[in-house]
Chain A
Amino acid sequence: MPDQALRQRAPLEALARPGRFGATSAAAGVMLSEIRDRGLASVAARKNQRAALLAAAKSAFGCGLPTRPRRAFGRDGLSFVWAGPDQWVAMLDHGPVGGIEPRLAASLKGLASVVDQSDGRAVVRIGGARARAALAKGMPIDLHERAFTPGDAALTFFSHINVHIWQVDETPTYEIAVPRSFVGSFWHWLTEASAEFGYEATGSNSSA
């Protein structure tokens, strides 16, 4: 018998050191943090159930599932990001461990496949006046405010790692979901890219 219980650990717990790093000549241009209290689940429409799923989600969660690359907000801290044709990532702010899947599954039974992804992806928040410039070094899409605005989402890559990005506010602040096993490499690239602007890392950020 092990003499120690297994402890739940956030993907970046051992890597994201809090503090001020990189250039120090001016205020930090980039703020980095990890969101650790959000439940994630993938939602994929079952065959020929798309219309029924959209209608059921609207009545159950108070928002339609976005049918283009956007994020939509429902009731009680629930939101949905478009994740490909007839696919979404559902997110629950301050979600209890394992809490999101049963909450969705009851309303979407037979209409969609719902699988908990909370442990499978890390969610990193990147904000600040130079956040856009830092991301531009590794991401091939245009994040200029003319092309990408709060609520917009995209599936693309950052330094050869497939990522899911959506914009939170006009600061600009973005959130990026990364497959958990890639997050160390992603974090290394992100911090190197942010160093010339000076960045402030805080370990954990609340999801709301």
Chain B
Amino acid sequence: MRIPCPYCGERGNAEYAYLGDAGVSRPQTPLGAALEGATLDAWMNYVYLRDNPAGAHRELWYHASGCRAWLIVTRNVSTHEILNVEAANGAIRDGRVGAL
């Protein structure tokens, strides 16, 4: 599998590290709030629960052996076709993905 880095060009997946789903956002729990009810559910969802689609998936990759940029890669997990790649910092700044 080869991923086109927006900064470095197309590189083999050996240069990258995989993090996972780019769609999850860290719950905005106030400091000291009790972890129960809806708050506990939100944290359970954030830490453990993931969709497992057989098709397009937005996910975070880190160009660890390259430019060290975080990328949001849209990948078909059935065929490994790369559908879209963008820099994660731009997407976080624009509010299109939650800060980690």
Q: Which of B6-14, B42-50, B72-80 contacts A (4 or more CB under 8 A)?
A: B6-14
Work out how many contacts link A and B, with CB atoms closer than 8 A. 35
Stretch of A105-113, A129-137, A151-159, A176-184 that contacts chain B: A151-159
Separation in Å of the A10 CB from the closest CB of chain B?
25
A170 CA / B45 CA spacing, docked (Å) = 55
Query: Is A69 engaged at the interface, CB distance under 8 Å to the other chain?
Result: yes
**Cβ contact within 8 Å between A84 and B67:** yes
Interface residue range, chain B? 10 to 19
Q: Is A140's CB under 8 angstroms from B15's CB? A: yes
Could you tell me the distance between the alpha carbons of A68 and B64 in the complex, rounded to whole angstroms?
A: 18
Report how far A155 CA is from B15 CA in the complex, Å: 10
Residues 49-70 of B at the A interface (beta carbon under 8 Å): 64-69
User: Which residues of A are found within 8 Å of B12, using beta-carbon distances?
Assistant: 140
Give me the 3 closest cross-chain CB pairs, A-B, nearest first: A84-B67, A157-B65, A155-B66
Q: CB distance A156 to B7 under 8 Å?
A: no
The answer to whether B7 touches A140 (Cβ under 8 A) is no
- Closest-by-CB residue of A relative to B64 is A162
Q: Using A84-B69, A85-B67, A85-B69 as known contacts, say yes or no to A155 and B8 having CB atoms under 8 A apart.
A: yes
Assess whether B65 is in contact with A84, with CB atoms less than 8 Å apart: no
Closest Cβ–Cβ distance, residue A16 to chain B (whole Å)? 25
Determine if B69 and A156 form an interchain contact, defined as CB atoms under 8 angstroms apart.
no
Q: Is B85 an interface residue (CB 8 A)?
A: no
Nearest CB of B to A108, in Å: 21
The contact string, 1 if C-beta is below 8 Å from chain B, for chain A 167-206, is 0000000000000000000000000000000000000000
Which residues of B have CB within 8 Å of A140?
A: 11-12, 14-15
| Binary per-residue interface labels of chain A (79-104) against chain B in the complex, 1 for a CB within 8 Å, 0 otherwise | 00001110000000000000000000
Q: Is B24 an interface residue (CB 8 A)?
A: no
Other-chain residue from A84, A85, A141 in contact with B11 (beta carbon distance below 8 A): A141
- In the complex, the answer to whether A155 meets B67 with C-beta atoms within 8 Å is yes
CB pair B15 A157 closer than 8 Å: yes
The interface residues of chain A lying within 8 Å CB-to-CB of B7 are 68-69, 84-85
A-B contact pairs, 20 of them (CB 8 A): A68-B7, A69-B7, A69-B8, A84-B67, A84-B68, A85-B7, A85-B67, A85-B89, A141-B11, A154-B8, A154-B66, A155-B8, A155-B68, A156-B11, A156-B15, A156-B65, A156-B66, A157-B14, A157-B15, A162-B65
A18 CB to closest chain B CB (Å) equals 31
User: How far in angstroms is the closest Cβ of chain A from B19?
Assistant: 18
